[in-house]
Structures are given as C-alpha cells and as structure tokens.
Amino acid sequence: MTNLPGWTEIDDRAVAYARALAADAVQNAGHGHPGTAMALAPVAYNLFQRHLIHDPSDPKWIGRDRFILSCGHSSLTLYTQLFYSGYGLELDDLKAFRQANSLTPAHPEFGHTLGVEMTTGPLGAGLATAVGFAMAARYERGLFDPDAAPGSSIFDHAIWVICSDGDLQEGVTSEASSLAGTQALGNLNVIYDDNRISIEGDTHLAFTEDVSARYRAYGWHVVEVQTKADGDVDLEALDAAMLAAKAESTKPSLIRLHTVIAWPAPTLRNSPKSHGAALGEEEVAQTKKALGLNPEEKFAISQDVLSHARKVKERGGELHKVWNSKFEIWKGANPDKAALLDRLIKGDLPSQISSALPVYAAGKDVPTRKASGEVIQAIANVMPELWGGSADLADSNNTVIEGSGSFLPVGSAMKGANPYGRMVHFGIREHAMGMIVNGVALHGLTRSFGGTFAVFSDFMRPAARLAALMNIPSTFVWTHDSIGLGEDGPTHQPVEHLAALRTIPNFAVVRPADANEVAHAWLQILRRAKPAGLMLSRQNLPVIDRTTHASAENVSKGAYVLKEASQGVDVVLIATGSEVSIALEAQVTLESKGISTRVVSAPCLEWFNEEPSSYRDQVLPKSAKLRVSIEAGVASGWREYIGDTGVVISLEHFGESASAAHLFKKYGFSAENIVAQVEKALA
Ligand SMILES: Cc1ncc(C[n+]2csc(CCOP(=O)(O)OP(=O)(O)O)c2C)c(N)n1
Ligand SMILES: [Mg+2]
C-alpha cells in the first residue's frame, strides 16, 4: 500500500478503479486515449484528493487553485477525477465518452463541463496558458491584497498543470516557460509526464535534450521522480515533490515524473499503441486482473470508493468556509477594493468608461495605433483591471500604460519593476503572448491585451483560435496593419491577414478608420467581452469630421453610413481602416461628376453580420447600381458584401519595400483609381 499520511487501502482501490474506467471508457467508445489516463490516474487522484484547493460545489470559487490538463488527449485523466470529486459527472457520462452531446467530449472543453478550466487538445497550449493564469493570480493579488505577506492572502492560490512530452516539444511552452522563469512564478506547479512515448514511438526519435537542465536554465525549480521498480508511479516520491513545489514560492516548479504509459496493461504498457487506441477486450480484462478487479465487470466502481472520493466535497466545503470568513474580514477592512471585486465578478465596466474616452477633433492626422495607445491610457485610468503589453514592440504598438510600472517579480533589478505592474514585457514570444492573454481572460476578473505587428498575428493564430473557441475576452492589438507600414517591406506587410483572421469563427477583427473609431472600437471590445483583434495603422490617418459625417459611436454596429450620397444611392463605397479616408476623397470626385455615392465605414464585419438584415440591407442596399469594397488586403470574403456585379479593390500579391504613399498609389488605393474603377463599372 502507498505510504502517505491519511492514505488507506480504499485510496489504492480508487486509483485501480480510475485506471480501469479509463480503459473501459475508450474500449466502450471504440476510440480515444487510454494509456496516459491509466498511468496518470494515481497522479490526478492524489492532486484532486490531497493537494488541489477546490470546492466541487462551487467550481467558480475565486479562491480555488486552478488545474489545467495540458495534454488534452488524456481527457479521462480529468474526467475520472471530476466524477470522483462530484463535479456533476457520473458513470453514464464516462459511458458516453466522445459521443454527441456528452459532457465528456474527446478533449476537455471550457464552458461545457464543470471543472474544466480551459479547452485543451492542441499540445503546448495548456501549459503556455497556465503561465497566464499564474501571472493573473499575481496581478489580482496586487489589485486586492498587495500588502499581505506571501502565501497569506485569500487571493493566493496555485496553478497546477499536468503536461506530456508533446507539450514540452511544442515551441510555445519554451516561450512561456522562459517567461515564467523570468517572472518567478512560484504559484505555478507543473507535473511533466515523462513516459518517453509519443505517437511515433520512443520520444528519443525526436527529443533527446535534458529537459530538467533546460527548465533549470529557465530558472525553474526542478525535481525528478523515477518510477517504482514495477513501473508504477512512485506516489510517495511524487507527493514529496508536490509538497516541495507548493513550498517553492519564488520559482515555478517542474516535477519530471517518469511513468510507464498504460501501466499495468500486460502487453501494451510502454507501447505507443496504447496512446490513441482502444486496448482491446482481452487486454482490458487482463489489466483489470492485474489491478485486482473483476475482469468481467465494465465501468465498475464500488460505492464505498465513490463515497470516499466524494468526501473531497466536504473538505473543499470546509476550506471554502474558512476562506469565506477571511473574505468577510478582508471586505470589512477594504471596502473600496471589495467594491471593485464586486464589479469585476459581475463583469461590469466602470460607469465612467464612456466619458473617459478621448475625443479627437477633425483637422488632425493621427495613426490609429497612436490613438489606441491614448485610449488604453485613458481607460486604464478608470479600469484598474486593465493590463497588458507587447512582444517587445510596446512603443510601436502603443501598448504602454504610463506610470504603472513593469510587471516583474519582487527582486527584479529592472527599472520600474513592480510585481503588480500593469505593463507586461512578453519578450519576442508572440505565440506565448497570445496564450498568456487567454490565460488571464480564463483566470477571470481582469482584462489584458497583447500587441505585435499585424503580420505576426500568424504567430498568434493558435491562441486567437482557442480564444474564439472558448469565447473568452482576449484582446489582441495588431499594428502596422497593411502596406501602409511602408519601407519595412513585404516580410512586414500583412496582405492576407485580415481575411485569414476573419475566417476564425467567433473572432472579431476590428479595423478602425480614424482615431474616434479607435476609441469606440475599444469601448465595444470591452463591452462585448469576446475575443477580438484590433488592426491599427502605423501611418497617420485623417481624423474624420464628425460634425459633417456620422458619429463614431456607430462602430458598435460594425459598419455604418459614414457619409451619405447626395441623392439616391447609385454607388456604395465600403472601406475599412486606412482606406476609408481614401473612399471619402473618391466620393467628393464622384459626386462632382454627378455620381451619387455613399461611403460606408466597416470597421468590423463580424459585428455587422450580427445586425438584423433590415439594417444591413439599409447600409448596403441591393438597389444601388454598384457596390465597391476597398481594402488593402486580399479580396477573400468581400464578394458577400458587394454582390456579383460589385467591384473589389484589393491586393492580391505581396507588397514591397517602399514608402506607404508610393505603395498605396501604385497598388490602386487612391481616389483616382477608385473613381476610374467606378466609372468603368458603371459604363
Ligand atoms: C499541436 C498539436 N500537434 C499534434 C497533435 C496530435 N497529437 C496528439 S497527442 C500527440 C503526441 C502524444 O505524445 P505525448 O504528448 O507524449 O502524449 P502521451 O502519448 O505520452 O500521452 C500528438 C502528436 C496535437 N494534439 N497538438
Ligand atoms: Mg508521452
């Protein structure tokens, strides 16, 4: 029997049943990933039963530790513990594993199954996002309880992760782990399942470095735990390593746990065949025998084991009660902070948010990235929950929050270092930045953003996609948004990015036309609290006169009539971002030629698509003789808005290194070309 304080024979049986349940669930479904869930059953059981601070009766309790299963394919590792802990999963849910409408989809899905803190499956994403969780926990403590001694605050909690070989092979975890070391995230505890198996076989086919040395070099606390002689997890050594990880408060911890995949399956243990396929009836039966269970019985669980495991609910309830009483004391002592927390829990914006927005007078030229920087600063003044930064381009992306200090750990020698600073230096790690911003959003309460050049949104696409899939309020600030960035040339000029990002379902791409649209774009993004990316210009754009043109508040509708045609609508010019002011110029010429022309600014097609068709038809009337889209990017997607006979003014090739003015003219983003194309089409 395992020799741990409080651990009895019933815990051993609970682990045995958990292993068999994993094998049964996959066998029953006919597909899935049994091996790792079998091997890790004792690890997850020990975590959920003895270490993780959680209350299954209140899965959203803000004082809870967070658990992320980075190797999402091993979802049964999590589902069996959610079943054991009483998060609402029952045996029938395990029987419905991977079936339509089940609470147990192949990979854990956030917002679908209680107790799942994030959607995992793309390897690397979980651990990288967990770094965001850990950073968010520190930032929140700074908002609510900055002066409490380390570890003593009700806002102190740990982020636990189980990850696999694949997670640590993916580059995004290297990016995020490096930053986690710099950030001295002592609240992050990672258990790495080093089973030396991935799909193609022995990981040494492709992965031979000393992972422990690498993580030590990142500044992590690393402990190795070998298997027991029989190949089972050495729970006693693991438990000691977990205690050491919890005690380590100034470094993130990596427990490199050696395991044997599919243990104790007689023939398929330590085989890649057990990674992603049912073991087969005979192997499952033999495994049950090895576990001391009845080989005939499927989805077996004895009532005494389940009742015992579910005592974690009582333990969690007790912890929560103690926390609540401390919370009441904290509230009494901190009424202002308590009011802030109350607002953040509700997800409300401060009442002054609209009045805080800067207003820009016409007659000036302002790059939309610069306006965004001013808007961030203005809203930061009323939204202490707003923080973020850039992947080493803060001054270019205008993501600076002045006077707030740099988010860096206690003891950092960097100028302006503040453990609760609002400015995050992500380093040149766009992929991890995206995941970390997601982690902050998932952790809850605060709002963060991450900036880089628009062309490098490609490096963040997996994060944008996960944000969209999870429907979380991640905000990405992408600047230098077209050939308008000029001389840096085609490597830095996004061409296909607007279209590519718009293809992500549930992701809003927001490309404001001028400084006032930027202010309202930010307001909408904050209000909607859904995933969004801003596309902002490097170059100056004229501030549109809102006394003669429609109000920028219309940004909320995604697209709107910015300047109406003089009489009837012959032509509609639909443009986004920097092309809107060019469309306005073209409108003047067309009107002077007697062609009645409307200009529509369309900062966000996704928001526009949400408007009723009556509004959309009114903005883009099919009765117009001609609809023209104007955007300095590939045409893909625009035909929908202009119809078969419309004209697309787009960019179907890469740019070149030259001034923005030169490129806009050369590639046809000029009033003259728009006028010529309209006249040609009308003729
Ligand atoms: C980004 C990404 N690439 C590829 C996959 C497909 N895939 C799923 S599991 C896996 C590797 C499994 O090896 P490991 O991570 O060691 O997990 P184990 O088999 O030990 O559970 C791969 C390539 C994925 N899920 N995510
Ligand atoms: Mg592996």
Q: Using 50, 70 and 90 to split pLDDT, how confident is the model at 644?
A: very high
Q: Give residue 200 CA to ligand 1 midpoint distance, Å.
A: 10
Residue 683, pLDDT score: 94
What is the b/e burial string over 198-227, where b = at least 16 CB atoms within 10 angstroms of the residue's CB?
beeeebeeeeeeebbebbeebbbbbbebeb
Residue 349, pLDDT score: 98
Q: Is the dihedral of CA 333, 344, 173, 451 positive or negative?
A: negative
Question: Does pLDDT of 461 surpass 90?
Answer: yes
d(CA 546, CA 553): 10
Looking at the structure, give the CATH architecture of the domain made up of residues 9-317: 3-Layer(aba) Sandwich (3.40)
Q: Ligand 1, residues 36, 43, 71, 270: which to mutate, most atoms within 8 A of Cβ?
A: 71
Which whole number is the average pLDDT over 599-628? 98
Could you give the percent of the chain with pLDDT greater than 90? 99
Asked if 157 and 130 count as a contact pair (C-beta separation under 8 A), the reply is no
Which whole number is the average pLDDT over 512-535? 98
Q: Which 3 state secondary structure label does DSSP give 210? A: coil
Q: Which residue's C-alpha comes closest to atom 15 of ligand 1?
A: 166
Q: Give residue 104 CA to ligand 2 midpoint distance, Å.
A: 22
Looking at the structure, give the CATH architecture of the domain made up of residues 552-682: 3-Layer(aba) Sandwich (3.40)
Q: Which of 148-152, 253-257, 358-362, 382-386 has the lowest mean pLDDT?
A: 148-152
pLDDT tens per residue across span 407-434: 999 999 999 999 999 999 999 999 999 9
Q: Give residue 108 CA to ligand 1 midpoint distance, Å.
A: 14
Which atom, in ligand 1's list, is nearest to the CA of 261?
Answer: 20
Active site residue 496: no
Name the token pair of 682.
């009308």
Q: Give residue 164 CA to ligand 2 midpoint distance, Å.
A: 5
Q: Which residue ranges have their beta carbon within 6 Å of ligand 1?
A: 36, 71, 73-74, 121-123, 164-166, 170, 195, 197-199, 261, 275
Q: Which residue's C-alpha comes closest to atom 9 of ligand 1?
A: 73
Residue 127, pLDDT score: 99
Record: fold of 353-542? Rossmann fold (3.40.50)
Asked if 586 and 562 count as a contact pair (C-beta separation under 8 A), the reply is no
Q: Which 3 state secondary structure label does DSSP give 390? A: strand
What is the b/e burial string over 426-441, where b = at least 16 CB atoms within 10 angstroms of the residue's CB?
bbebbbbbbbbbbbbb
pLDDT tens per residue across span 355-400: 999 999 999 999 999 999 999 999 999 999 999 999 999 999 999 9
Asked if 505 and 610 count as a contact pair (C-beta separation under 8 A), the reply is no
For 625, counting Cβ atoms within 10 Å of its Cβ (0-12 exposed, 13-18 middle, 19+ buried), the class is middle
For 405, counting Cβ atoms within 10 Å of its Cβ (0-12 exposed, 13-18 middle, 19+ buried), the class is middle
d(CA 539, CA 577): 11
Question: Does pLDDT of 585 surpass 90?
Answer: yes
Q: Where are the beta strands (DSSP E) in 406-503?
A: 406-407, 417-418, 423-425, 447-453, 475-479
Q: Give residue 584 CA to ligand 2 midpoint distance, Å.
A: 58
Number of H helices and E strands in the chain, helices first, is: 26, 22
Q: Which residue's C-alpha comes closest to atom 21 of ligand 1?
A: 36
Question: Does pLDDT of 285 surpass 90?
Answer: yes
Residue 140, pLDDT score: 98
Which whole number is the average pLDDT over 401-405? 93
Residue 67: name the closest of 242, 225, 233 by CA. 242
Which whole number is the average pLDDT over 87-97? 98
Asked if 89 and 144 count as a contact pair (C-beta separation under 8 A), the reply is no
Q: Which ligand minimizes its atom distance to the CA of 170?
A: 1
Asked if 358 and 371 count as a contact pair (C-beta separation under 8 A), the reply is yes
Q: Give residue 73 CA to ligand 1 midpoint distance, Å.
A: 7
Q: Which ligand minimizes its atom distance to the CA of 123?
A: 1
Which atom, in ligand 1's list, is nearest to the CA of 125?
Answer: 1
Asked if 425 and 452 count as a contact pair (C-beta separation under 8 A), the reply is no
Asked if 88 and 345 count as a contact pair (C-beta separation under 8 A), the reply is no
| 170, 430, 579, 606: the active-site residue | 430
Q: Using 50, 70 and 90 to split pLDDT, how confident is the model at 246?
A: very high
Residue 608, pLDDT score: 98
Which atom, in ligand 1's list, is nearest to the CA of 72?
Answer: 25
Q: Ligand 1, residues 204, 207, 275, 431: which to mutate, most atoms within 8 A of Cβ?
A: 275
Q: Which residue has the tokens 């809203």?
A: 379
pLDDT tens per residue across span 471-483: 999 999 999 999 9
Residue 477, pLDDT score: 98
d(CA 410, CA 401): 20
Which whole number is the average pLDDT over 57-64? 98
The pair phi, psi for residue 678, each rounded to 5°, is: -65, -45
- Matching fold, domains 9-317 and 552-682: yes
Q: Where are the domains of the chain?
A: 9-317, 353-542, 552-682
Q: Give residue 408 CA to ligand 2 midpoint distance, Å.
A: 33
Q: Which residue's C-alpha comes closest to atom 12 of ligand 1?
A: 198
Rounded (5°) CA angle 545-499-126: 110
Which atom, in ligand 1's list, is nearest to the CA of 165?
Answer: 16
For 189, 254, 419, the CA distances from 222, given in Å and listed in that order, are: 10, 5, 23
Which atom, in ligand 1's list, is nearest to the CA of 195?
Answer: 20
Which whole number is the average pLDDT over 646-667? 98
pTM: 0.98
Which atom, in ligand 1's list, is nearest to the CA of 164?
Answer: 15
Cross-strand bridge partners of residue 452? 478
Question: Does pLDDT of 1 surpass 90?
Answer: no
Q: Which ligand minimizes its atom distance to the CA of 167?
A: 1
For 169, 202, 457, the CA distances from 208, given in Å and listed in that order, are: 10, 10, 31
